Amino acid sequence: MARTARPRKRGRPSASQKAPGRDGIVTAARRLLEKSPPHRVTNLMIAREAGVDPALVRYYFASRAELLIAVVEHIISTWVAAHPPPDAAPDEQLATAIGGMVDFARGARSMQRLMIEECAESKLPAIRKRVRDMNAMAVAGFARILDQDDSAPLVPADPLLLYIAVIGMSEFFVAAQPMILPLLPGKTDADELAERYKAFIVRLVLDGLRPRKRR
């Protein structure tokens, strides 16, 4: 009688398997998420993209949410490393933080859905905590910038509301690309448009936070 094939359990991959490791799987998942919405990206697709057996994905990531939050953290790390030093002028720090949030939104298709539906609404408390910690850290970063501007004081602002506003401007810019691009003359490079948009919202935010001169 023929033996029925048993599904492989989560466990250490065989020594003969040429595996890229945890980081390689995260990078493969990120590539797929740049092209497809999260609900269409499966572990099997990620394994194929990474060139590994699905068992290796299960070995490194106990759940789909674990893998997706790792992708989010990977995207964050790529632009946090480019931030200016802490002794940079507050307006430079704020400009870089805003630009980084646009880059973060562009780092995966449907980033809002990825963050909210797949991570913030995860059934796993540990995943929800990691999302809260990431957002709390971002809000704290805005608070530090707003509190240290002594040379050119900014008007009092709620760092949480500022964070929410920049998220909205960043996310809609990315989500609305199919609507925005047809409005532009000729062929417009998406990267060039993103740089122009970042410069625009940086001016918008900084001008809004600077005190008005009395006439």
Predicted local confidence at residue 77, as pLDDT: 81
Which token pair is 67?
A: 């893998």
Under the phi-then-psi rule, with left for phi > 0, alpha for psi from -120 to 50, and beta for the rest, what region is 21? left
State the Cα angle at 208 between 202 and 212, rounded to 5°: 135
Q: Identify whether the C-beta of residue 123 lies closer than 8 Å to the C-beta of residue 69.
A: no
Residues of the chain with CATH 1.10.357.10: 71-209
Which part of the chain is CATH 1.10.10? 21-61
User: How many angstroms separate the CA atoms of 191 and 185, rounded?
Assistant: 16
What per-residue confidence (pLDDT) applies to 5? 45
Note the helical H segments in 51-189. 54-60, 64-80, 90-106, 111-113, 125-147, 159-175, 177-180
Nearest to 202 by CA among 98, 84, 100: 98
For position 24, what pLDDT does the model report?
94
Residue ranges in the chain modelled with pLDDT below 70: 1-19, 79-86, 149-153, 213-215
**pLDDT, position 151:** 59
Give the model's pLDDT for residue 152.
Answer: 58
Looking at residue 55, its pLDDT comes to 94
Q: Hey, which CATH number is domain 71-209, 1.10.357.10, 1.10.3720.10, 1.10.1040.10, 3.30.70.270? A: 1.10.357.10
Encoded tokens for 50? 């990474």
Length of the chain: 215
Predicted local confidence at residue 150, as pLDDT: 59
Query: In the prediction, which pLDDT does 184 show?
Result: 82
Q: Look at the domain 21-61 and name its fold.
A: Arc Repressor Mutant, subunit A (1.10.10)
Are residues 33 and 54 in contact, defined by beta-carbon separation less than 8 angstroms? Answer: no
pLDDT digits (tens, 9 = 90+) for 136-171: 999 998 998 888 755 556 778 899 999 999 999 999
DSSP tag of 212: P
Task: Say what the pTM is.
Answer: 0.79
Nearest to 113 by CA among 74, 80, 71, 79: 71
